[in-house]
Amino acid sequence: MRFGLSYEISVPKPWTPDSERQVFLDCLEQVRVADEVGFESVWAVEHHFFEEVSHSAAPEIFLTACAMQTTNLRIGSGITVCVPEYNNPVRVAERMATIDLLSKGRLDWGSGRSGTWYELGGFGSDPDETKKTWDEYVRMMPKMWTEEFFSWNGRRFQMPQRPIIPKPYQQPHPPLWVAVTSPGTEIDAAERGMGALGLSWGGIKGHEQKISRYKKRIETCEPVGTFVTNKFYTVNYLFCHETHDYAVEMGERMSDHVQYGTAQVVGTREATISRAYPDYTAALDGYNPASPSPSRAFIPEGLTVGDPDHIIEAMKLWEATGADGVNFIINSHNVIPQQEVLDSLRLFAREVMPKFDPLAAKSLEAQALEENALVGEGTR
């Protein structure tokens, strides 16, 4: 399994003249540490109008900053909203190719269609059209990146032949992903040969079933790109601390903030009924905040907050679902002090990550050999 960071960039009130800037700077520091200790990727959402919950309205700029301050991390658009009132597809192709060039081929392009009436209404978008426009985006994007001249005559988009520049650094193009929130989107991802970013909350069993459906369907897919990205990543919270009870207390405070914010967002769907969006509550089937893990009381099953031993146990449950990786929310509403967030990343990378990620295990062994060599030289 591989591990990444997932950012919504929440900025709690009361705000000061410097509070938003400081949150962004803290996130960048976290990303630099994640790069140093062996995490695979960093992903940033695209949200609009969500005070406190998410100030990630221009994720491509944040991700560019991440790319310029790291060496190994994959840079994940998680996700670009594929709705024409938000983003013109040509502009998306241009911006993402630029990030791929600046990162020397580390971009993963994640797509989605937004899931909140609050945002869609702010841009004057029709929720019944979003799935159709998303489908056009994901079919257009690889063509714009690989064809010398591109033209399109589709349902929502038409343009005459033009060269779309720049082209991405990765050949033939960056991996393609889609956010899996609404029930059934895992099948949409699999049919198109795209990686699945599991961004919905739910129990272990529900995820296992979803991953199984995805893996089975992708075997016979017709990819929209030139290759298949057969990976399913889930999302979780991470706070790793030597003192288990303290980690649980802080981790649950963090998850409570995110769940509260999500609940406010979902409620706006009741204002407009759309057949294009299944009932979101179905994605929460099996999730019970009071459900204990098999070995620790008062922690939802699979929640990765606690001491390293507990997190290893929780990760084994996710590994058994067939998930290829996990993207972690590592802070929310500044609940956890910055230094403790950084310490959590380092502790997780040292004690937990090598149990599941062979690349991390090799990196840890190499670091140990290097440190022993330096100690040996110092004693001569």
Is residue 199 classed exposed, middle or buried when 0-12, 13-18 and 19+ CB atoms within 10 A define those classes? buried
pLDDT for the residue 43: 98
Q: Which residues have a Cβ under 8 Å from the Cβ of 297 and sit 6 or more positions away?
A: none
Q: Is the dihedral of CA 31, 33, 36, 39 positive or negative?
A: negative
Domain residue limits at 224 = 2-378
pLDDT for the residue 95: 98
What is the tens place of the pLDDT at every residue in 143-180? Answer: 999 999 999 999 899 999 999 999 999 999 999 999 99
Q: Tokens 């991996």 belong to which residue?
A: 175
Q: Are 120 and 130 in contact (CB under 8 A)?
A: yes
pLDDT for the residue 179: 96
Residue type, 319: E
Give the domain CATH number at 55. 3.20.20.30
Q: Are 50 and 117 in contact (CB under 8 A)?
A: no
pLDDT tens over the chain, length 380 residues: 999 999 999 999 999 999 999 999 999 999 999 999 999 999 999 999 999 999 999 999 999 999 999 999 999 999 999 999 999 999 999 999 999 999 999 999 999 998 788 899 999 999 999 999 999 999 999 999 999 999 999 989 999 999 999 999 999 999 999 999 888 999 999 999 999 999 876 788 889 999 999 999 999 999 999 999 999 999 999 999 999 999 999 988 887 777 666 665 655 555 555 565 555 554 444 434 334 444 433 456 889 999 999 999 999 999 999 999 999 999 988 899 999 999 999 999 999 999 999 888 777 777 667 766 666 676 66
By DSSP bridging, strand 74-81 and strand 41-44 are parallel
pLDDT for the residue 107: 98
> How many domains in the chain?
1
Burial 330-364 (b: 16+ CB within 10 A, else e): bbbbbbbebebbbbbbebbbbbbbbebbeebeebb
pLDDT for the residue 283: 44
By DSSP bridging, strand 325-329 and strand 232-240 are parallel
